[in-house]
Structures are given as C-alpha cells and as structure tokens.
Amino acid sequence: MKPKTIVAGLLIALGVVVLAYSGITFKTRGKPVEIGPLHVETTKSHFIPPVVGAVALVGGIMLVVLDTRKA
C-alpha cells in the first residue's frame, strides 16, 4: 500500500470516530501544585470539536479520490 492511501484511511477513520461521538474529550496531566505540605495533582481537559472530524473525513476522501484519478 502507498503511504498516501494509509494516511487517507487514517484520516477517514479519525473523522468518522470524531463525528460519531460528536467530538472527543480527553484529559492530560497538568502542573502539580504544592501548597505547604499539600501536593495537589491537576488535569487539563481538551476537546476535539466535530468540525475537525468533518475536515479530516473530507481530507481523507479527497486523498483517495485524487490518488485514484492519477492511477
């Protein structure tokens, strides 16, 4: 398989998943906060909006279409 086809497949899969879940929310570790003897862990919440999924889906489809036209 060509690398362009693999990237297109990944973009299409990512786009479908993000659109199916109406966006994806994930958390990452933030900076730990130390106040005297207390040690508090923080987390940051991130959101991937459905628009990003739509753009990835369209981009993947365009890669497939353009790749088949050249063949």
Calpha distance 32→22 (Å, rounded): 31
- What is 10-57 written as a DSSP string? HHHHHHHHHHHTTSEEEEEE---EEETTEEE--EEEEEE-HHHHHHHH
Higher pLDDT, 61 or 33: 61
Q: Tokens in use for 34?
A: 């130390």
Total count of domains within the chain: 1
Residues 43 and 28 sit within 8 Å (Cβ to Cβ):
yes
pLDDT digits (tens, 9 = 90+) for 44-69: 999 999 999 999 999 999 999 987 77
16: containing domain:
3-70
Residues 53 and 13 sit within 8 Å (Cβ to Cβ):
no
* pTM confidence score: 0.75
